[in-house]
Structures are given as C-alpha cells and as structure tokens.
Amino acid sequence: MAEVGGAVTISHYLIVGEIEAHFDRAQAAGATIVKQLAASDYCARDYVVRDPEGHLWSSERTASRRYQARRLRAQHKEVPMTDENFRSIALGLPRTEASQHTGHPDFRVRGKVFATLGYPDAGWGMVKLAPDEQLALITASPEVFVAVKGAWGRRGAASVRLALADKRTMRKAIASA
C-alpha cells in the first residue's frame, strides 16, 4: 500500500492475453493513463493506469519463452547458458567440489550443496541463495529465476531456466550461493 495525494491506495499487477483490448476497456472505464501501451524490455507490451479511486494497475502481455530467450540473448550478446557453462562457473569458485545428489549433479563447498543441475528437469539449474537475494533475482529476471517449491524455496533456493540465463547473471548468482 502507498499513500497518493492523502489517500491510501494499492497497486495491482495483471498479466493479460489481449493487451490492446484490455487497454481500450481501461481507458473507456475512466482510468487515467500513467504509462502508455508500449513494447517493454521484460515483456511483449505493457501499460499502467490509475483508476478513479486512485489505485494503480500495471498490465502486461507476456512474451513467449522463445521470444524472451531471443531478446535476452540479443541484449547480452551471449550464447545461452548451458550445463557445461554452469558447471564451469561453479567449479571455478574456491574449494568447490562436484558431486551428486538424488541423481543430479551438484556443487558443494565443505560438503554443503550450493547449486545443482538438471532439477527439476533437463535445462534447469538451482542455486541456494539468501531469501532477499532470491527475491532480487526473481524480481529482476522472472523469466530466468523461479522460487523452488516448498521449504527450500522459502529459504531462498531458486530454479534457473538455463536457456534464458546469461553468463554474467549466473556468475553473480552462483557466487552468491
């Protein structure tokens, strides 16, 4: 919640399919345009309006994963993250050992797992982070990082879609783990 012009308001975030029609309906309903409908760096298109009661509404049409992957690679001018790149970054840290845990390759320091590959499926990795670091990565790159389900996720573990990740971000995430 935030205070706007002396009134308490909340901000809503929506993911919609037909963004143009949604934008038109919001405008017709009397919403004030805060940010025009436009292409975005992190989604296909988005806009922000304020309703007559002062609440902010952010709406986006999320791009396909294939589109997101192409756009991220173009932005970072890097090849997609691979299992081998992930392994190389992890093993490049001091005192790191490769091992296995529940049939998946993992990486440990002093016997403690800080990263794994192939979980929950091929093409994924996992890094154990502090909860605030996990939240920062998921907020900055929701197409790349997802909280692991259950207790591990609540404690900061994040799954990584390797094909959408770039080396610079993964180096930081793995080093933080």
Q: Report the distance separating Cα 104 and Cα 75, nearest Å.
A: 31
Kindly state whether residues 81 and 159 are assigned to the same domain: yes
- Residue 2, classed as helix, strand or coil, is strand
Contact at 8 Å (CB) between 174 and 90?
Answer: yes
Looking at mean pLDDT, say which of 4-8, 24-28, 48-52 comes out highest: 24-28
Residue whose C-alpha is closest to residue 134's, from 119, 114, 110: 114
- Pairing between strand 45-50 and 32-39? antiparallel
Kindly state whether residues 71 and 149 are assigned to the same domain: yes
| Final residue in a domain of this structure, among 35, 63, 91 | 63
Which pLDDT score is estimated for 105? 93
In the chain the beta strands, taken as DSSP E runs, fall at 2-4, 7-9, 11-15, 32-39, 45-50, 56-61, 96-101, 104-109, 112-117, 124-128, 145-147, 157-161
Which pLDDT score is estimated for 49? 87
Looking at mean pLDDT, say which of 13-17, 19-23, 155-159 comes out highest: 155-159
Kindly state whether residues 22 and 90 are assigned to the same domain: no
The band of 86, judged by pLDDT with boundaries at 50, 70 and 90, is very high
Q: Report the distance separating Cα 120 and Cα 66, nearest Å.
A: 20
Kindly state whether residues 10 and 27 are assigned to the same domain: yes
Q: What tokens appear for 18 in the block?
A: 């037909």
Which pLDDT score is estimated for 9? 58
CB atoms within 10 A of CB 156: 20
Q: What CATH number does residue 150 fall under? A: 3.90.1150.30
| Final residue in a domain of this structure, among 46, 63, 80 | 63
Q: What CATH number does residue 40 fall under? A: 3.30.720.110
Mean pLDDT, to the nearest integer, of 65-77?
A: 60
Range of the structural domain that residue 29 is part of: 2-63
Task: Enter the pTM of the model.
Answer: 0.56
Q: What tokens appear for 115 in the block?
A: 């990263």
Kindly state whether residues 98 and 143 are assigned to the same domain: yes
Kindly state whether residues 114 and 79 are assigned to the same domain: yes
Which pLDDT score is estimated for 42? 57
Mean pLDDT, to the nearest integer, of 104-117?
A: 93
Which pLDDT score is estimated for 148? 93
Kindly state whether residues 117 and 169 are assigned to the same domain: yes
Q: What tokens appear for 80 in the block?
A: 């997609």
Angle, helices 131-140/167-176, rounded to nearest 10 degrees: 170
Domain count, the chain: 2
Q: Report the distance separating Cα 162 and Cα 122, nearest Å.
A: 9
Kindly state whether residues 86 and 172 are assigned to the same domain: yes
**Stated length of the chain:** 177
